[in-house]
Amino acid sequence: MGRINPLSTNSPLRFIVVVVLMMGLTCCAQEQKIEGSVVLLLDDAAVYNFFTQKKASLSYIGESSLLEEFSFSKDTIFTQLAVESERNWTELLYKENSQSRYSYIFQKRDTVLIKIIDKKPWMEVVNRTSKEYDINWEVKRNQELYKTDHSSLEDFYFLWNSTFNSVLPISMESELIKAKTSAEEGLEKEKFWLDSLVINGLLTKTYFEFLAERNRFEQIKIGLFKIDSGMFDALGAMETFSKKSSSEEYHIYLDEFSDFLLGQLIVQHSEKIDEIIGGAGDGYFSQLMLYKYLERQVQEISFAEVDQLLTLNTSKLPNEWEMRLRAPIEKLRIQDPDMELLGLGQKRLTFEELLAEKRGEYLYVDLWAAWCIPCIRSFPETKKLQSDYQDKGIQVIYLSVDKNHKFWEEVTRKYEIAIPERSFIIMNVEESEYLKELNVELIPRYLLFDAEGKLIHPNAPRPESRDIRVLLDSLSSE
């Protein structure tokens, strides 16, 4: 599997930053360079600081033909990255929190120096000669064709999302028609611009072919936005792109588009989504759509259901894709539940000790916080579950992720969940590797453990849902 691999790091404390000159970086890259990789060299520490401030990320399509991504963190600083790939060409996508994004294309074994020029990433290949528009073509395109930092196509997508995805959609039909026309004209202008660059020897033919293919893709895609109905033709897109050849499988834009299209299909055709995705064929894009659909599902179902789902689809996906879907679950299955708990009355114990105490019973664990209104609103339902299932070998456990112990205790008493042996606060929220593997970004979050103390559902249904009662009934009848 391809990956972005930090080659050179400093102390995680970041007290000392070594600024390495270009020549030194290049020499270091030759010594450490991984065969077949593209090595990215940060010009100085200011580049890394810029990326962390912008919450930037770099992504590309790895050896498995799936997206690989690296996000810049303040915890560790380094001067070099290796993009490991045996492909002759690699597209690298830079994104930041301001929504700015730039695409770059590199050859196998390129050594690239990254600078910041005019508050934008600027990349220079230092171990071979490239033509003027080969590398930073998107920055130059925006400057020369659009006289701004973004294209008219990006303007249209932004306006579309603002109109139809906002909490209070606004009628902007005339503005959308104008923006779509401008985007279509911009794509036509870009096509002739690319032709002129090749003719004038400013763009390599291989780069031209890559960019022209992307231009054609965008022209087809924008035609599927139906302004009069306010809908994207999701079925038309699925049919169109499922028939395309696999020549585009290394392109990031297909991966990004598959996420968008899946969301549209779920909204527009939720009752037929299994049929649509399952019957799309066996080409790359069809497989990618199936992978994305399965990826969403495995995050919401029990481990047993994951096994059934992936077994059912095992012949439809490359082995590496299935392994990637299973990897987070397998890692979570073997991860020690390293949470340290404090109970009412100052009782201290580990979560493993709690599981041992409750052995023989299923545990429905409510992860919550005293400041979380949706969490508190669900307490009547969790208390009802406890009342209805306590004689069936099922208990509700409350685990708070609060930092303010006094506030936590006050809220447990106010809402009547101050129950000894069932209500605790997690003392090591920030340090717990188990919580990191669970990826608890939103609460309330519900976990389900079997009678042996093993996690069987990392995203159990909410307490007010019919699904949780169906699930608990099935467990209590075993």
pTM: 0.85
Is the pLDDT confidence value at 20 over 50? no
Report whether pLDDT(6) > 60. no
pLDDT at 24 over 60: no
Calculate the CA 54 to chain-centre distance. Answer: 17
Quick check: 203 and 137 in contact, CB under 8 A? yes
Q: Strand, coil or helix: what is 447?
A: strand
Confidence class for position 150, pLDDT limits 50, 70, 90 = confident
Average pLDDT, the chain: 88
pLDDT of 62: 87
Query: Mean pLDDT, to the nearest integer, of 83-111?
Result: 88
**pLDDT confidence of 87, banded at 50, 70, 90?**
confident
Structure tokens at 420: 């000894």
Q: Is 234 in contact with 265 (CB distance < 8 Å)?
A: yes
Q: Is the pLDDT higher at 3 or at 257? A: 257
The class level of CATH for 340-476 reads alpha beta
* DSSP label of 431: T
Lookup: tokens for 110: 């390129």
pLDDT at 176: 94
CA distance 269 to 273: 6
Side-chain half-sphere CA neighbours of 20 within 13 A: 19
Q: What is the per-residue pLDDT for 112?
A: 96
- Separation of alpha carbons 289 and 67, rounded Å: 13
b/e 222-257 (16+ beta carbons within 10 angstroms → b): bebbebeeeebbbeebbeebbebeeebbbbbbbbeb
Residues of CATH 3.40.30.10 domain(s) within the chain? Answer: 340-476
Q: What is the pLDDT of residue 249?
A: 62
Percent above pLDDT 90 for the chain = 71
pLDDT band at 171 (very low <50, low <70, confident <90, very high): confident
Question: Which pLDDT score, from 0 to 100, does residue 32 have?
Answer: 47
User: How much of the chain, in percent, has pLDDT values that exceed 70?
Assistant: 90
**Location of each CATH 2.60.40 domain in the chain:** 1-130
Lowest-confidence region among 1-15, 77-91, 117-131, 148-162: 1-15
Residue-wise pLDDT for 350-384, tens only, equals: 999 999 999 999 999 999 999 999 999 999 999 99
- What does the pLDDT read at residue 10? 43
CATH class of 1-130: mainly beta
393-408 residue pLDDT tens: 999 999 999 999 999 9
Residue 17 has pLDDT above 80, yes or no: no
Instruction: Give the mean pLDDT of 274-297.
Output: 90
Given pLDDT bands bounded at 50, 70 and 90, which one contains residue 74? confident
Radius of gyration (Cα) for the chain, nearest Å?
26
Measured between alpha carbons, how far is 457 from 300 in angstroms, rounded to an integer?
Answer: 8
Q: How confident is the model at residue 15 (pLDDT cuts 50, 70, 90)?
A: very low
Q: What is the pLDDT of residue 378?
A: 96
Average pLDDT (220-243) is 93
Residue the block writes with tokens 């588009």: 257
